[in-house]
Chains A and B, each alone.
Chain A
Amino acid sequence: MNNHAATADVPAPEAILEARQVTQRYSLRGGGELLALDHVNLEIKRGQFVSLVGPSGCGKTTLLKLFSGLLRPTEGDIRFNESVIEQPSREIGLVFQQAVLFPWRTVLKNVMLPAEIVGLAPGEARDRAEELLELVGLKGFGSKLPSELSGGMQQRVAIARSFMHDPSVLLMDEPFGALDAFTRETLNDSLLDIWEKFQKTVVFVTHSIEEAVYLSDVVVMMGPRPGRIIDIVDIDLPRRRSEETRDDRRFVEYGRDLRRLLNH
């Protein structure tokens, strides 16, 4: 396989994020270079839930960082709404593997942080933060400190925070990677609830094929050494995903096919 699969799609006007011929090299300590991404082309359409899946070292987190504007590509362009991204944008929100809550702030104050930085009216921000906390199932936890919450609850707070200043794209870097399987599945459903309500574009990095299939409209399969896109698979499963989705024959088939791609 090669990255022709990625370029084969005709560019659609509704593309919100784009990687064009993106190459990323890291120079290694003690000489040499690591080719983290090799001429990657990818287009993400507005309102879609897209997952980047692959083994470690395939460059999926690097690609996410490039989309965030925190990292500039060695070669090629990253575009948001057709203009090249040169720095982070408030239209693009981030969720990390760790919740990254400020331990000195209460849960509510953590959710309100983006509002303070962007400069929203405090009253409005407070109402919205409370609404978001309710949406992620944390009504009544606003006055707690992060240290009083479990890992799963902390990640719920982080998701609520990422919606606070209403960015049009959310980039999520293995947000549930550190959680146990059960917590992870309930958080997947919470994430889909809030996503369906606000209709954001989500780019979601994971190393779990099942999680990617369950959540996504599109799964981008990536491979290591050098980091590249192996294939892009549309997931044609009915929306309003639920427990039944996991029993769907096609759900199982998607998982199997994607795994085969990887082992190739």
Chain B
Amino acid sequence: MSTRDSEASAISTLGADQQPPQAARRDGRRAKIIPLVGSVAVLVSILVIWHFAIIVFDVSTFVVPSPMDTVEALRQGLFVNGSYWPELWYTLRNALIGLALGGLFGVLLGTVLAASAMTERILHPFLVAFQTFPKVAIVPILTVWFGFGATPKIIVAAILAFFPLMVNTYTGMLAVLRAEYELMHSLRASRMQIFFKLKLPRAVPAILAGLELAIVYSLLGAVTAEFLGGSDGLGHLSQVRASFLDTPTVFAILVIFGLLGTALYEIVSLVRRRFGYWQ
């Protein structure tokens, strides 16, 4: 989906002589509308099946709430008493701070590894060990060290965001071609010029692809850490409400997570199409 969109935007930057003819443009519009209508139809079908399945199989609201109950819980939490907003902000803030910190370190370390094969070889076993390690397992000890506040959540979000950006920065920078280096060396380019005019732009599409993953992981990290200690955040709220068998609220929070994750991913996709246009 996103690759097709980026092709479409690349085409739209062509000169006037390359504009597709009328008929093709109409086909293009149809090609965009049909999937959209289809997606909405699938959503409606899911809601209808969900609604009637609960009636037909006589499922208790304590097990699965109906779509109506869920919408009502959303309405209450978002617009009537607004109790979800501070929790949503808390979780999102932790995820984004974690993303920024982890992402920054990821890009920096990826850059260093790409610049020095020796450093890469020395650090490789540790990176593999750390990457394969189930990282949320360190939450209890983080809680011991940092308490029940935001710090352990931010750290977990940062650790999860770190890896995709480190790996993608590294592989993206290794994609520089030998002849491209030779061109720069023949011009006596400085190390800084080679970095900013060649290695970094070369790696941008890979870095943005890493960011797409990292933003989802950082949200995952922030929410998971809330389950394991603390008194704030949407993850914590859903855990508390679940213990009261308030399943409509739990479902409402799941819907919010779904929308939040999609929105974050789409924002990064937009950035990716803007700066990775040439891929």
Contacts of A69 in B (CB 8 A): 186
Bound-complex Cα distance A98 to B15 (A) = 25
**Number of B residues, CB within 8 Å of A:** 24
Taking a contact as CB atoms under 8 Å apart, the answer to whether B180 and A100 are in contact is yes
Query: A94 at the A/B interface (Cβ < 8 Å)?
Result: yes
Closest 5 CB pairs of A and B: A104-B278, A103-B278, A94-B186, A117-B187, A100-B179
In the assembled complex, the Cα of A90 lies from the Cα of B185 at a distance in Å of 9
Residue A92 at the chain B interface, CB threshold 8 Å:
yes
Q: A100-B179, A103-B278, A147-B278 are in contact. Are A88 and B185 (CB under 8 A)?
A: yes
> How many A-B residue pairs lie within 8 Å, measured between CB atoms?
60
Tell me the dominant secondary structure on chain A's binding face.
loop
Using A93-B186, A94-B183, A96-B179 as known contacts, say yes or no to A117 and B278 having CB atoms under 8 A apart: no
A248 to B185, CA, bound (A): 41
Please, which residues of chain B bring their CB within 8 A of the CB of A98? 179
CB distance from A177 to the nearest CB of B (A): 13
20 contacts between A and B (CB under 8 A): A68-B182, A69-B186, A70-B182, A90-B187, A92-B186, A100-B180, A100-B183, A102-B180, A102-B198, A102-B201, A104-B201, A117-B184, A117-B189, A117-B197, A144-B14, A144-B15, A145-B10, A145-B13, A145-B278, A148-B14
Indicate whether A89 sits within 8 Å of B188 (C-beta atoms), given known contacts A96-B179, A104-B278: yes
| Residues A117 and B182 in contact in the complex (CB < 8 Å), given A104-B204, A165-B187 | no
Q: Could you tell me if B198 and A114 are in contact, using CB atoms closer than 8 angstroms?
A: no
- CB < 8 Å neighbour of B177 from A92, A100, A165: A100
Chain B residues lying within 8 Å of A89, measured Cβ to Cβ, are 188
For the complex, give the distance between the alpha carbons of A187 and B193 in Å. Answer: 31
Q: How far is the CA of A117 from the CA of B190 in the complex (A)?
A: 8
Q: Does A205 contact B (CB under 8 A)?
A: no
Q: Which B-chain residue is minimally distant from A92 (CB atoms)? A: B186
Interfacial chain A residues near B180, Cβ < 8 Å: 100, 102
A165 and B189 alpha carbons, distance in the complex (Å): 13
Digitize A106-139: 1 where CB-to-B-CB distance is under 8 Å, 0 elsewhere: 0000000110111000000000000000000000
Chain A residue with Cβ nearest B183: A100
- CB-defined contacts of B189 to chain A, threshold 8 Å: 117
Task: Find the B residue at minimum CB distance from A99.
Answer: B179
> Which residues of A are found within 8 Å of B197, using beta-carbon distances?
102, 113, 116-117
Within 8 Å by CB of A118, from B14, B177, B187, B279, lies B187
* Complex partner residue of A114 from B187, B204, B277, B279, CB under 8 angstroms: B187
* Most chain B beta carbons < 10 A, residue from A68, A102, A144: A102
